[in-house]
Structure 1
Amino acid sequence: MKLTLVRHTSLQIAEGICYGQSDVDVSINFATELSQVRQKLMHEKIDAVYASPLQRCSKLAHALGFDGILHDERLKELHFGDWEMQSWNDIPRELFDVWAQNYAEMAPPNGETFAALQQRGVQFLEEVSARHAGQHVLVVTHGGMIRALIAHTINMQLKGLFRFHVDYASLTRLDFSSSIPNIEFVNR
């Protein structure tokens, strides 16, 4: 199975806001970014499409014109709990610093850990791999989920997740068609 992960387009939210699972809408640049994603996918044969149910992903998946889009709760971004919709600058620095040192195993207050996010992503991946063996699956999701699936694919510790950036409206392709999964590309 080939898995093409599409990060949602840019958002209608002020810079520096922690939004996680908050259902933030797409920005005024949606039409332009949609056109860019369409161009990138123009020659791809897609067998199945999944999306996070949050509107920033669902809108993109539907606007791409695919039929039979399946929404899956497990594809949501990290739940930042009490930090959702707060300015990163308003989160007490001592709390943020402790979390930042161990975000894999420590959750923001009333939120979830990156390990939990990755676990739900891997569960999704295993089910989709079994259901779509030998096919090309498109997934419209979030930066955190894309990072977590990349880390899983290459057996990377979650601590290194933020050493690479996942751009808005970018494509990342993971290939599970051989015994050793690989990353074909990131941020195309």
Structure 2
Amino acid sequence: MGHEWINAEQEFKWSEDVKVESEVTEIVLVRHGETTWNAAGRIQGQIESELNEVGQKQAVAIAERLGKEARPVAVYSSDLKRAKDTALMIAKTCFCSEVTEVPDLKERHVGSLLGLYWTEGAEKEPEAYSAFFSSQNDLEIPGGGESFDQLCERSMNALEQIAKKHKGERVIVVTHGGVLRAIYLSITQASSAGKLLNASVNVVHLRDQKWSIDSWSDVSHLSSVGFLQRGFDGDAKV
């Protein structure tokens, strides 16, 4: 599924100052802008929620930043609206004619935690809350939720498929905090991914079939806009 518009690319001269090495595939991973539920501290999972005013400004700020960097050949997004709206802004600024939706880039299914406030999860759904933060990665969240292993598998498969189509090229992928955490931990085998901030830039490289982290959780472009300091932290209980 794509979103298209007419652009004035023929009138735009792209800077050639920064190029991706021909043998390296560069994927710029972006977390969507802030939503009404992010600001309220509610658990979104795969439910739709709108970018709030700050989130819209963040989408503009990240689009302006990426528009000044090496041109991407494509923009991909989760099929959830908060990611798509962020991706559309980026694509337009980067003169990419469409956004390609990838359902496997959507946020983790959080089962019976969906819609709860983070602060009430432990009391109202203790089993699901415990499963979400469990170090037992094959444990599914009660209420139809995914295990962390399932999230990692679909997230990395989606990333691999995108990289396969764009060998030696630069692409932008807009997704969610849970997916970013899954990708980071899958690549690094670290014990924690830290905070995943709204509208952050996270760059990964694929070289000789090996993934590496180039930069992570960069929000330098948000200095005049602001962001939620707490971000998404799937490693620590609220």
* AA of the residue aligned to 1:176: L
| C-alpha RMSD over aligned residues | 1.8
Going from structure 1 to structure 2, the CA distance change for 1:30 and 1:101 (only over 3 Å counts) comes to closer
Q: Report whether the alignment pairs 1:27 with 2:52.
A: yes
Cross-structure match for 1:142: 176
Note the C-alpha offset of 1:92.
4.2
Q: Highest Rg: 1 or 2?
A: 2
Q: 1:52 to 1:98 in 2, by over 3 A?
A: closer
Note if contact 1:80-1:112 (Cα within 8 Å) is conserved in structure 2.
yes
In the alignment, the residues of structure 1 paired with residue 210 and residue 27 of structure 2 have an alpha-carbon distance, to the nearest angstrom, of 14
How many percent of aligned residue pairs carry the same amino acid?
Answer: 24
SS in 1 for 2:88: helix
Instruction: Determine the structure 2 residue equivalent to 1:74.
Output: 104
Match of 1:101 among 91, 111, 134: 134
Do 1:6 and 1:169's aligned partners in 2 also have CA atoms closer than 8 Å? Answer: yes
Query: Does the C-alpha gap of structure 1 residues 183 and 101 become closer, same or farther in structure 2, counting only changes over 3 Å?
Result: same
* Paired position in structure 1 for 2:82: 56
Superposed displacement of residue 120, structure 1: 0.4
| Mean CA deviation greater in 6-15 or 31-40 | 31-40
Deviation at 1:87, TM superposition (A): 1.9
Checking the alignment, whether the CA contact within 8 Å between 1:24 and 1:56 is kept in structure 2 is yes
- 2:113 aligns with 83
Pairwise CA distance, 1:133: 0.7
Amino acid corresponding to residue 25 of structure 1 in structure 2: E
Q: CA separation in 1, counterparts of 2:179 and 2:131?
A: 22
SS in 1 for 2:52: coil
Mapped to 2, the partners of 1:5 and 1:81 lie a distance apart of 25
State the AA in 1 paired with 2:174: V
Structure 1 residues 99, 172: closer, same or farther in 2, change over 3 A?
closer
The DSSP-based 3-state class of the residue aligned with 1:176 is strand
Asked if the contact 1:8/1:168 (under 8 Å) is kept, the reply is: yes
| Counterpart in the other structure of 2:226 | none
Aligned to 1:114: 148
Q: Deviations over 1:61-84 (max 9, x none)?
A: 112213221101100011011211
Contact residue 50 and residue 138 of structure 1 kept, 8 A? yes
Query: Normalising by structure 1, what TM-score?
Result: 0.89
Question: In structure 1, how many angstroms separate the alpha carbons of the residues matched to 2:122 and 2:157?
Answer: 33
2:162 to 124, 128, 131: 128
What displacement does 1:166 show?
Answer: 1.1
* Contact 1:80–1:107 (Cα < 8 Å) also in 2: no
Q: Which segment drifts farther, 126-135 or 103-112? A: 103-112
Runs of 4+ in structure 1 deviating by more than 4 angstroms, as ranges, are none
Deviation digits for residues 10-38 of structure 1, max 9, x if unmatched? 01125331111111111111332123202
Give TM-score, length-normalised by structure 2: 0.71
Aligned partners of 1:24 and 1:55 also within 8 Å: yes
Asked which structure has the greater RCO (Cα within 8 Å, sep 6+), the reply is: 1
Q: Per-residue CA shift, 1:83-112, capped at 9, x if unaligned?
A: 110123333444223542336221221211
Aligned residues: 184
